[in-house]
Structure 1
Amino acid sequence: MSPAVPQPAVPPAMPAERVVARLRRHARVLIVPAALLVVVAGAGTYGVFVLPELWQQLAVVGVGLLVLVLGCILPFLAWLARRTTITTRRVISRSGLFARVRRELLHSRGYDVVVRRTWGQSAFGSGDVRINTGHEHPFVIADVPKPFQVQAALQELMDEARSHVADRRRADQSNADGDTVAWGGR
């Protein structure tokens, strides 16, 4: 039998990534499109039954459909197309109807989280969460409901990620014996 070779301590594995929150803009941005839908439906129905000529009725229907597409359907699709997901490792922002844009920000990078609220946002309990990463343009989660709760969660996730990275570095340094280590093993 050969003597047992001591195995180096394995660094702690990164826990599986979990979704903490999925966020969209506050739904109050859909109040005007919903009111416009009701007004256009009522005015269009009234115009079709009151106007005597067929071309006038078709004009009312055409204008009504155009207003519905531009004023109701497009704002709703734009609201649906923008989503922010916060996981235990990163913040992911997806936006765009025809050209999709995806931005990611790792919690382990460290950042500053600021909440900015206008008086209208304060009335509805929402606000902008600005994540300052040190770049020219901050990462902004616009008009999110309960912004202070989001800020607290982001700060807690950032602290956990930074402590986990520090633990991994300490474990890697304790395993290093001065030899060159190739990727994935010895």
Structure 2
Amino acid sequence: MRPAATPETAAPPAQPPERVVARVRRHARVLTIPALLLIAVAGATAYGLGVAPEPWQGLAIVAGAVLIVLLGSFLPYLGWLTRRTTITTRRIIVRSGVFVRVRQELLHSRGYDVTVRRTWGQSAFGSGDVRINTGHEQPFVLKDVPKPELVQGALQELMEHEHSRVADRRRAEQSMIDGDTVAWGGR
């Protein structure tokens, strides 16, 4: 028969492993203009090469087209690709940056207010901004997220679950206190 756990030997409940709930990027519609620009530059370059009488003019057209495509299509795509939001069971992680990586984290246990803001264009495409008010001057904003109501509901549920887990852990720690020790607000 196993002896009952005494307050001195009882271990606090183990924390469940952190799991990824969702990985989110901005809505892909932000790449519409860069894609249209790429198509237009390809067509204009082909036309310009066919009309240009001198070889140096063809080189100038190609160099200009490469520069426009690099600045107007490739860099916006790279910016979209390198900004990612990961929502886990314990926190929100936002990673961004190409040459300088920036990582921001927000714990669910801190408590926050989640709101959704949608413009008419975002409503048409089923996206919106999820604003997370943490009590600081600037809210934590997940911009142009697809299905923002679903993200809002998931964040609220995760926050409630994290608060109940923290409260359970505190109760377990309180119950481990032996009879000689008085916790603040106890007895």
* Structure 2: distance between partners of 1:147 and 1:172: 37
Q: Give 1:81 shift.
A: 1.1
Q: 1:12 to 1:22 in 2, by over 3 A?
A: same
Aligned equivalents of 2:100 and 2:14: distance in 1?
A: 36
Report deviation, 1:9: 2.5
Aligned counterparts, 1:162-177, within 5 A: 162-177=163-178
Q: Structure 1: which 5+ residue stretches go unaligned?
A: 181-186
TM-score of the aligned structures, taking structure 1 as reference length: 0.92
Distance 1:160 1:5, change over 3 A: closer
Q: Are 1:87 and 2:88 matched, yes or no?
A: yes
Once the two structures are superposed, what CA deviation does each residue of 1:95-116 show, in whole Å capped at 9, x if it has no partner?
A: 1111111100000111000100
Which position in structure 2 is the counterpart of 1:136? 137
Is 1:77 equivalent to 2:78 in the alignment? yes
1:85-140 Cα deviation digits (max 9, x unpaired): 00000000011111111100000111000100000000000000000000111110
Higher deviation after alignment, 3-12 or 133-142:
3-12
Instruction: Say how many residue pairs are matched.
Output: 178
**How big is the alpha-carbon RMSD for the aligned residues of Structure 1 and Structure 2?**
1.7
Q: 1:125 maps to which residue?
A: 126
* CA-to-aligned-CA distance 1:135-173 (integer Å, 9 cap, x gap): 111110000000000000000000000000000000000
CA distance in 2: counterparts of 1:94 and 1:33, whole angstroms: 22
CA distance in 1, matches of 2:31, 2:78: 10
Aligned to 2:100, the other structure's residue is in SS state coil
* Pair 1:9 & 2:22 matched: no
Shift of 1:179: 5.2
Runs of 4+ with >6 A deviation: none
Match of 1:29 in 2: 30
Q: Say whether 1:151 aligns with 2:152.
A: yes
Stretches of structure 2 lacking an aligned partner (at least 5 in a row): 183-187
TM-score by length of 2: 0.91
Q: Residue type matched to 2:135 in 1?
A: G
CA–CA distance in 1 between the matches of 2:78 and 2:60?
26
Give the letter aligned to residue 113 of structure 1: V
Q: Which amino acid aligns with 1:95?
A: S
Q: What CA distance in whole angstroms lies between the structure 2 residues aligned with 1:5 and 1:28? A: 58
Q: Deviations over 1:13-65 (max 9, x none)?
A: 11100000000000000011111111111110111111111111111101100
The amino acid across from 1:105 in the alignment is L
Tell me by how many angstroms 1:4 deviates. Answer: 9.3
